[in-house]
Amino acid sequence: MTLLVALLCALVLPAASSASRNQLLTFEAPRDLLDPASRDTALGQLDSLGVKSLRVVMYWKDVAPQSGSKNQPDFDTTDPAGYDFSRVDPVLDAAKARGWPVLLTVSGPVPRWATRDRKDNVTRPNPSKFAQFMTAVGRHFKDRVAYWSVWNEPNHPAFLAPQYDSKQRPVSPGLYRQLFLAAQRGLASAKVPSPQILMGETAPRGTGKDVAPLTFLRGALCLSASYKATSQKCDQLDIAGFAHHAYTTRSGPYFVPPGTNDVTIGVLPRLVSALDKAARAKAIPANTPIYLTEFGIQSEPDPIFGVSFQRQAEYRAISERIAYDNTRVKSFSQYLLTDDAPLTSGPKIARYSGFESGLITASGKAKPSLDAFRLSLVSTRRSPATTSIWGVVRPATVAGSATLEYRAAATGAFRTFKTVTYNRLGYFALTAPYKAGRQYRLVWTAPDGTVYRGAPTRTYSG
């Protein structure tokens, strides 16, 4: 509330409260960065967008030998030489060369021989074998990884199973806790100095198949629904933060899920509250930070989750502001530079079964979100007469200025509204009179003289 009051009391605010914030923006672009043919171009694009951090997900199954076999091959499971890291290495090497910190998420699916019953690649992974694998991972990547996280969406059956038992009681949280502890042991064995390990990486909503994120959190920490310890054998987990994927629906970032154990971007305080209750129960450290390590807004042509290109740009920016305004959130993310390629046949609903959350279409056409990512802008109606405007100029490294333009409706020429001053991190905020139908955009001249124009943005009610 303090920030909102300040915004409404000043015409132009160079964000004194924002100046101390240094929320990390992390980008994940597996389609572009893992492919040697597109890697250099993608890295250049990310550089130009002011990206300074990457998330890389590495699936155990993809790097292990004979991962489809029931029988474990004869090799030293703690030796990096036994694994094929050749697809991941160039990405981490490129990040290190640029000074970009990397979050490496090590996840299932796993080798079939690393599961208890050896029937598939996700059911009951063996914690001892995972510890051995993490020893190899730690030895190989220790000087190229700033943050480690354990498992991608462990509350989703595509990555960890079973999620529930026959009586519909959650099973995956207990499995996950053992895998997290195994990862800690593995990195310790690899002598990784003071590893920063995130837990969670949870999907946002529970279903009949997925365990809801807050239910999962409590289960992994041996806590009841009222955040009381359920076991004397569960010591406090030493975690650097809790990672979460706060995806929303096509209703937008202000959507409130009816399930009270779900956490989408619009209800982040639920996660803050849950972490604080867990800390009071001595299950995790106090003031555990939140890392929003995977996020995106899906656009057309996705027939189920996709919104218009303009809404994608607006929703992504609003979501970033929501994350920024929450002081517990230490990182926000963008999932995908380029959309997943659609399947070439079948009904539309099946062809677009991947993600269309990129800034570029699968065919290579820039969406408005590409310009809006560089020059993020949010216009929010805070009272009947006033609008709060918040923005980010990327890739700003020193304080500077940009031009805020407006037009009266969805079409027509833009006019100068005012010059805005952003801080050394690129942030600015101001208030303006509310005008129905008005749209805004940012125009910025980069140090090399290139003029960039952001995407038009409408005013939303926050």
The three-class DSSP label of residue 333 is strand
Segment 148-166 shows an average pLDDT of 98
Residue 448 lies in a domain: no
What pLDDT was estimated at residue 455? Answer: 97
Q: Give the model's confidence band at 233: pLDDT under 50 very low, under 70 low, under 90 confident, else very high.
A: confident
For Cα atoms 195, 201, 19, give the angle at the middle one, nearest 5 degrees.
Answer: 70
Contact 264, 255 (CB under 8 A): yes
Residue 57 lies in a domain: yes
What pLDDT was estimated at residue 199? Answer: 98
Contact 356, 340 (CB under 8 A): yes
Residue 257 lies in a domain: yes
Q: Give the model's confidence band at 202: pLDDT under 50 very low, under 70 low, under 90 confident, else very high.
A: very high
pLDDT, one tens digit per residue, over 186-197 is: 999 999 999 999
What pLDDT was estimated at residue 239? Answer: 98
The three-class DSSP label of residue 35 is coil
Residue 59 lies in a domain: yes
Nearest one of 460, 407, 437, 395 to 53, comparing CA atoms: 395
What pLDDT was estimated at residue 433? Answer: 96
Tokens in use for 15?
């964000």
- Number of domains within the chain: 1
Residue 422 lies in a domain: no
pLDDT, one tens digit per residue, over 347-387 is: 888 899 999 999 999 999 999 999 999 999 999 999 999 99
Locate tokens 């074998």: which residue? Answer: 129
Residue 444 lies in a domain: no
Residue 17 lies in a domain: no
Residue 260 lies in a domain: yes
Segment 251-271 shows an average pLDDT of 98
Segment 198-209 shows an average pLDDT of 96
Residues 6+ apart with CB under 8 A from 272: 290, 326, 328
Q: Is 327 exposed, middle or buried (0-12, 13-18, 19+ CB in 10 A)?
A: middle
Which domain CATH number covers 50?
3.20.20.80
For Cα atoms 434, 12, 448, give the angle at the middle one, nearest 5 degrees.
Answer: 110
Q: Report whether pLDDT(169) > 60.
A: yes
List the end-to-end C-alpha distance of the chain, in Å, as a whole number. 13
Give the range of the structural domain holding residue 254, as residue numbers without chain letter: 22-375
Tokens in use for 130?
């995972």
